[in-house]
Amino acid sequence: MGVKIYRPTSPGRRQSSVNDRGELTDKNRPPTKSLVTPLQKTGGRNHSGKITSWWRGGGAKRLYRVIDFKRRNDGGRATVVAIEYDPNRSCNIALVEYPDKSKSYILAPLGLKAGDWVESGPSVEPKIGNAMPLKNIPVGLDVHNIELTAGQGGKLARSAGATARLIAREGDWATLLMPSGEMRQVRVECRATIGQVGNIDHQHVRMGKAGRARHLGRRPHNRGTSMNPIAHPLGGGEGRSGGGRHPCSPWGKLAKGGKTRGPRKNSSKRILRRRRSVRYGQLVLKSK
């Protein structure tokens, strides 16, 4: 897997890079028809037509690949048919076929390739791609696609290159070290998949030009200081201005220094340490 840079035939091409998609089984392979569904675009608008998520719209048409985040098919070994590209997420997906000839898509972990087999269940081997409850996973292994509620499906560590580490297990709770540096507890009945999510070079790809962002459905993002006073509290002024006040949202809510997590989040009490922008090898616990 790597990043490909083309000959600089134009300014946009000079600054851009693409993923060579070396992990894929066949770059031109179409998706399995029984596992795709139409994807309706919203343009960032809610049911009444009001914009609730700015800077979205347009983009190339996509078909949504239905992913099996629950991994509850414990009937036997599933053979990996192919590693495919998914336009709806940063990581690749794997098409697996079960002994009963049923097929499903799962997130493709790093190192998984066509011809391999994966399993799910409480008594399977802890190898890459296998899904099992946290109470059966050896402490110290890297996992991804982690459930927050048993049976609800994986919610944590699902993007390209993401991985969490199981660092402890005590009673009914397992302690995980998240990619952000956050340390949190999850019930041991929750399932997780062994290994790291593939396509780790996704973060090194550079857009190079605005057109590639438009293809992804991302519209131009303009600053509040560039708007008129009627559109934003930071707008207006003669020439370039600093806004005249602290950074805030279009409705006057301060944008820096405040907490954004709601006070009634039930899972907050299971966060042992808040996230930091550090990696595993650089974590330093503050002495009390």
Residue pLDDT, tens place only, 273-283 = 988 644 444 44
Per the structure, how many domains does the chain have? 2
Please give the C-alpha separations between residue 274 and each of 70, 181, 231, in angstroms, as whole numbers: 27, 7, 35
Whether the pLDDT of residue 46 is over 60: the answer is yes
* Residues 128 and 232 grouped into a single domain: no
The answer as to whether 252 is a domain residue is: yes
| Residue 259 confidence class, pLDDT cut points 50, 70, 90 | confident
Do 229 and 100 share a structural domain?
no
Alpha carbon distance 141, 173 (integer Å): 16
What pLDDT score was predicted for residue 288? Answer: 37
- What number of residues does the chain have? 288
pLDDT computed for residue 278 by the predictor:
45
Express each pLDDT in 160-205 by its tens digit. Answer: 999 999 999 999 999 999 999 999 999 999 999 999 999 999 999 9
Q: Give the model's pLDDT for residue 280.
A: 46
Query: Considering only CA atoms, which of 71, 61, 283 is closest in space to residue 179?
Result: 283
pLDDT number for residue 76: 86
**Do 170 and 230 reside in the same domain of the chain?**
no
Q: What is the pLDDT of residue 2?
A: 86
The answer as to whether 215 is a domain residue is: no
Does 210 map to a domain?
no
Instruction: Enter the tokens of residue 224.
Output: 């509040």
* Residue 12 shares a structural domain with residue 53: yes
Structural domain harbouring 105 = 3-202+261-282
**Both 122 and 248 in a single domain?**
no
- How much is the pLDDT for 229? 94
pLDDT for res 180 = 92
Q: Is residue 11 part of a domain?
A: yes
pLDDT of residue 245: 93
If asked whether residues 142 and 238 sit together in one domain, one would say no
Are 230 and 104 contained in the same domain?
no
7: exposed, middle or buried (C-beta count within 10 Å: 0-12, 13-18, 19+)?
A: exposed
Contact 21, 85 (CB under 8 A): yes
Q: Mark whether 186 and 253 lie in a shared domain.
A: no
pLDDT at 158 over 90: yes
Q: What is the structure's pLDDT at 1?
A: 61
Co-location of 150 and 30 in the same domain: yes
Residue 287 lies in a domain: no
- For residue 173, the model assigns a pLDDT of 96
What DSSP string describes 202-217? GGG----SHHHHHHTT
Q: What pLDDT, in 10s, does the model give residues 205-249?
A: 999 999 999 999 999 999 999 999 999 999 999 999 999 999 999
User: Would you say residue 207 lies in a domain?
Assistant: no
Same domain for 79 and 27: yes
* Domain co-membership, 119 together with 229: no
* CA–CA separation, 96 and 114 (whole Å): 9
Q: Is residue 216 part of a domain?
A: no
Give the long-range contacts of residues 241-249, CB within 8 A, separation 24 or more. 248/224
Return the CATH number at 235: 4.10.950.10
**In percent, how much of the chain has pLDDT > 70?**
95
Range scoring the smallest mean pLDDT among 139-143, 146-150, 277-281: 277-281
Kindly report, residue by residue over 68-118, the tens digit of the pLDDT.
Answer: 999 999 988 999 999 999 999 999 999 999 999 999 999 999 999 999 999
**Domain annotation covers residue 214:** no
pTM of the model: 0.87
CATH number for the domain spanning 50: value is: 2.40.50.140
Same domain? 33 vs 154 = yes
Separation of alpha carbons 197 and 107, rounded Å: 7
Q: What is the pLDDT of residues 18-27, one digit of tens each?
A: 999 989 999 8
Strands, E assignment, the chain? 3-4, 18-19, 36-38, 63-65, 78-84, 93-97, 103-107, 117-118, 131-133, 142-144, 146-147, 154-156, 164-170, 173-177, 183-187, 191-194, 271-273
Mean pLDDT of 34-47: 94
Residue 157: both structure tokens together: 């560590």
Asked if residue 169 lies in contact with residue 139, where contact means CB atoms within 8 angstroms, the answer is yes
